Structure 1
Amino acid sequence: MRIAQRNELVSMTVKTRQLTIQDEVDDLERRLKDAKQRLKDSGGTVPPPAFEPSIPLSSPHSLLLLSDSALPLGSFAYSSGLESYIAHNKPLPPGTTPTTSFHNFLSLSLASIASTTLPYLLTAHRHPDQLEALDNDLDASTPCTVARRASIAQGLALLGVWERAFREPYSSTDTTNPTTRTAISALSSFSELLKATPPPPSDPSLGANGHLAPLWAVVCVALGIDISHSAYIYMLNHAKAVLSAAVRASVMGPYQAQGVLASRWLQDVIAERVEGQWGVGVEEAGQAVPVVDLWVGRHELLYSRIFNS
């Protein structure tokens, strides 16, 4: 009898503790919700949700379309500063192999593209209606003329792919997602703006430009690709373009390049770069590796070259 009473007492004590903990959790969640609402009412910005690298694939068909090496963006014409880097690092320091030197450049290039453009991409994905303003801000914060020209050329090519290939099948889809509809509308408005207001010859930077990062994000929204995969494939495509340039510049062979693409090292670097920029606003975006701008900017001064940048 006493044992039964004791067991019943222990059971009631455990249940009481569980209820107390659950009440505490509910109270914390309620307070967090109230705090976010007060921040929103005061005109502040609610922080973005935490970075989740293992989200299940959203719209894998669309993701494969944008990851296709045959996507006509003209990326093969650009080395992202690799050709200039090679020319300015001859001869290599003792003990440094061409492969080691390339890995160093690729790491710096990924850090540079992440710090300068990922905040704009992530913000554009969260707010596709701000495409024009984000494009203008990115243009103003890109001091390197060569990098600016490459970004615009690829961005306009992506917009052309959307209009000529993707817009009809994806716009005709009966979507109930208001963000997707906003993205499709933003792309149409931006395209009309580019056609209606050509920049004056005296200053081509005025008016709409068409930078790659914000356009990439809005196209991904229109295709139904979530934000984490949009950022990851953007960074992966940059790595693919640099590796393609390395193969054509005889830095490494095609199998070696594929090995780098498949490596855990590259996966970890890209994930770290995306996570590092996840909550960074566009006002905090900037060049974290200034020497990359020097290599890219001095590309046009090379005696001979095989890439546009």
Structure 2
Amino acid sequence: MTQPASQEGVQLQTDLEDEVRELERQLSAARERLSAQKRQDPSPDAAGATPLTTGLPVRHRPTRTGRGRGVDLAYDPKDSFAEHHHLLLLSDSALPLGSFAFSSGLESYREHVRAAAITTAASKTPQQQSQTPRKPTWSFAEFLPLSLSSYASTTLPFVLAAHREPRRLAELDDALDAATICTVGRRASCAQGRALLGIWEKSLVGDLTAAGTVAGGGGDEGEDRESALSEDEGDHVREELIDILAIIKSYSKLLRSSSNSGSSTTPSTTTTTTPPSAIPPVSAHLAPLFGVVARALGLGAHQTAYVFMLSHAKALVSAAIRAGMFGPFQAQKILAGAEIRGLLPALVAREWDTPVEEAGQSSPVVDLWIGRHEILYSRVFN
């Protein structure tokens, strides 16, 4: 009986030694995480403000340990929450771009199709009218893919080009302005672009600078974006952000100078020739500016393109609700449906390699609907 008892004691001692080594490993890992967290914590700014998390209670999650191995369930501050934070902000329907004021041709489409149906019905005899099955004269399901395809073919190449080459912002804005033949669509694009520029200047750029992302500090955003980068690569990211900040600032100055000189995004109704000196250097179109702002906020090209197209889809659905075409539950059903989930990636893939020189209208009738919106007898949208 002595030998088995001795073997049991040796096994127990071995297990205890394994457990001690595991606890020491976890303690060492916890110390490393604590040191990393201390390096990440931003210092108070010059005004003496303190982070909002100061004074909050700290919860320590236990670590589940198995025989010979540990399963760490502790919260990791480097989870990808911050990576998606600006993605969610840009995709928010409450982002004050002013898109709710425009229907992108939806209201005009409904009225023109309805008028065409009335004209067609009036040309038929009573017997023909009774034999013709009644059905809705317009269909949102028909308009939605047309509008999305049109929007992708005309603007998405400019979004991607600006995201890939932010220095071309003013050049791309000018090219898009020249390629936009519909006055109503141009006015809507410029209005939303100016709104996005205002959001950037008043709400976004200050937060990036305060967090140390642009200035090269140790803010949370900078740490999240540079956690997997070497020191040299991290410096490159900071330099790129500084360049983008300067590009947008210069772009904003050009826009203000054109506004102060009396130029306007609304074309003149007179027939006089506009001298080249009076042509505004930039018009603040939404598409190229969205690409540059998304790049500055850390969004990838695929994310930027998808959010841009999803925002247009949500704007169309919102316009349909306010026009009384359907209710909010049907709207969410459309946005969550398989058609939208399949159509948006397909459009992004279609325009992924399209150069801006080849960007053009894929559905000319959409331009007609948008352009004729102003002649409607009564209308809800601008």
* TM-score normalised by structure 1 residue count: 0.77
Structure 2 distance, partners of 1:291, 1:128, is: 32
Residue among 71, 79, 83 paired with 2:103: 79
Contact 1:78–1:307 (CA under 8 A) maintained in structure 2: yes
Aligned partner of 1:221 among 292, 295, 301: 295
Q: Equivalents in 1 of 2:279, 2:145: separation in Å?
A: 30
Match of 1:64 among 88, 102, 111: 88
C-alpha contact (below 8 Å) 1:58/1:226 kept by paired residues:
no
- Please say if residues 179 and 221 of structure 1, whose CA atoms lie closer than 8 Å, have aligned partners that are also in contact: no
Give 1:96 deviation, angstroms: 4.7
Alignment of 1:1-309 (within 5 A): 59-90=83-114, 91=117, 96-97=135-136, 101-172=139-210, 173=213, 174=216, 176=235, 177=237, 178-198=239-259, 200-201=262-263, 203=274, 206-308=280-382
Distance 2:279 2:192 in 1: 16
8 Å contact kept, 2:163–2:295 = yes
The one-letter code matched in structure 2 to 1:250 is G
1:196-221 alpha-carbon deviations (Å, 9 max, x no partner): 23365465753210000000000001
Contact 1:180 1:224 survives alignment (8 Å): no
Alpha-carbon deviation of 1:238?
A: 0.2
Rounded to whole Å, the distance in 1 between the matches of 2:342 and 2:279 is 36
Query: Which entry has the higher C-alpha Rg, 1 or 2?
Result: 2
The 2-side partners of 1:256 and 1:179 are apart by 43
Structure 2: 5+ residue runs without aligned partners? 1-79, 119-131, 217-221, 223-234, 269-273
C-alpha separation in 1, matches of 2:246 and 2:355: 24
Residues 304/121 of structure 1: CA separation in 2 closer, same or farther (3 Å cut): same
Q: Distance in 1 between matches of 2:133 and 2:111?
A: 17
Answer whether contact 1:232 1:274 (CA < 8 A) is retained: yes
The alpha-carbon deviation at position 95 of structure 1 amounts to: 6.3
Structure 1 residue aligned with 2:126: none
Q: Offset of 1:67 from its aligned partner?
A: 1.0
Q: Deviations over 1:166-222 (max 9, x none)?
A: 011113423541433332221111011111233654657532100000000000011
Contact 1:58-1:224 within 8 A present in 2 as well: no
Q: 1: CA distance between counterparts of 2:135 and 2:167? A: 48
In the TM superposition, what is the alpha-carbon distance from 1:147 to its structure 2 partner?
0.2
Question: CA 1:57–1:111 in 2, change beyond 3 Å: closer, same or farther?
Answer: farther
User: Is the 2:255–2:280 contact (alpha carbons within 8 Å) kept by the matching residues of 1?
Assistant: no
Displacement after TM superposition at 1:97 (Å): 4.0
Distance 2:303 2:82 in 1: 8
Distance 1:113 1:136, change over 3 A: same
* CA RMSD, 1 decimal: 2.0
Q: What displacement does 1:259 show? A: 0.5
3-state SS of 1:159 partner: helix
Query: Structure 1 residues 273-282 or 203-212, which shifts more?
Result: 203-212
Q: Secondary structure at the match of 1:307?
A: coil
8 A contact 1:121–1:213 mirrored in 2: yes
Residue 217 of structure 1 contacts residue 230 of structure 1 at CA under 8 Å; is this kept in 2?
A: yes
Question: How far off is 1:58 after superposition?
Answer: 8.1
Partner of 1:14: none
User: TM-score of the superposition, structure 2-length normalised?
Assistant: 0.63
Gaps of 5+ in 1: 1-55
How far apart, CA to CA, are the structure 1 residues paired with 2:83 and 2:136?
41
Query: 1 CA distance for matches of 2:81 and 2:309?
Result: 17
Larger RCO: 1 or 2 (CA < 8 Å, sep 6+): 1
- In structure 2, what is the Cα distance between the partners aligned to 1:108 and 1:168? 38
Contact between 1:171 and 1:184, CA under 8 Å: does it hold in 2? Answer: no
Contact (CA 8 Å) 2:170, 2:251: kept in 1 or not? yes
Describe the SS at the equivalent of 1:89: helix
> How big is the shift at 1:94?
5.0
**Greater alpha carbon shift after TM alignment, 67-76 vs 197-206:** 197-206
Contact 1:112 1:288 in 2 (8 A): yes
